[in-house]
Amino acid sequence: MDAADEGELVRRIARQDRRAFDELYRRTAPWLEVRLRRRCADADLVAEVLQDTYLTVWRAAGSFAGTRNGGARGSAVGWLWTIAAHHLVDAFRRRARRAQRPQVPLMPATAPAAEDEVMAARIGQELEQALLTLPVEVRAALRATVLDGLSSREASVLLGVPENTVKSRVRRARIALREALS
Q: Which of residues 58-77 bind another protein (CB under 8 A)?
A: 58-70, 74-75, 77
Q: How far is the CB of 40 from another protein (least distance, A)?
A: 12
Q: How far is the CB of 11 from another protein (least distance, A)?
A: 11
Q: How far is the CB of 9 from another protein (least distance, A)?
A: 11
Tell me the C-alpha distance between 135 and 23, whole Å.
40
Residue 103, phi-psi category: left (phi > 0), alpha (psi -120 to 50), beta (remainder): beta
Which position among 23, 81, 102, 180 is part of the footprint of another protein (CB under 8 A)?
A: 81
Binding to another protein (CB under 8 A): which residues in 104-163? 106-113, 115, 117, 119-123, 127-128, 131-132, 139, 143, 145-147, 149, 151-154, 156-157, 163
Number of residues forming the site for another protein (CB under 8 A): 93
Site membership for another protein, residue 5 (CB under 8 A): yes
Q: Cα 179 from chain centroid? A: 27
Which position among 54, 102, 159, 176 is part of the footprint of another protein (CB under 8 A)?
A: 54
Site membership for another protein, residue 33 (CB under 8 A): yes
Q: How far is the CB of 37 from another protein (least distance, A)?
A: 7
CB burial class (10 A; 0-12, 13-18, 19+) of residue 101?
exposed
Tell me the C-alpha distance between 36 and 85, whole Å.
8
Q: How far is the CB of 132 from another protein (least distance, A)?
A: 6
CB closer to another protein, 121 vs 182:
121
CB 50 within 8 Å of CB 84 = yes
N-to-C CA span, the chain: 49
DSSP string, 46-71: HHHHHHHHHHHHHHHHHHHHHSTTTT
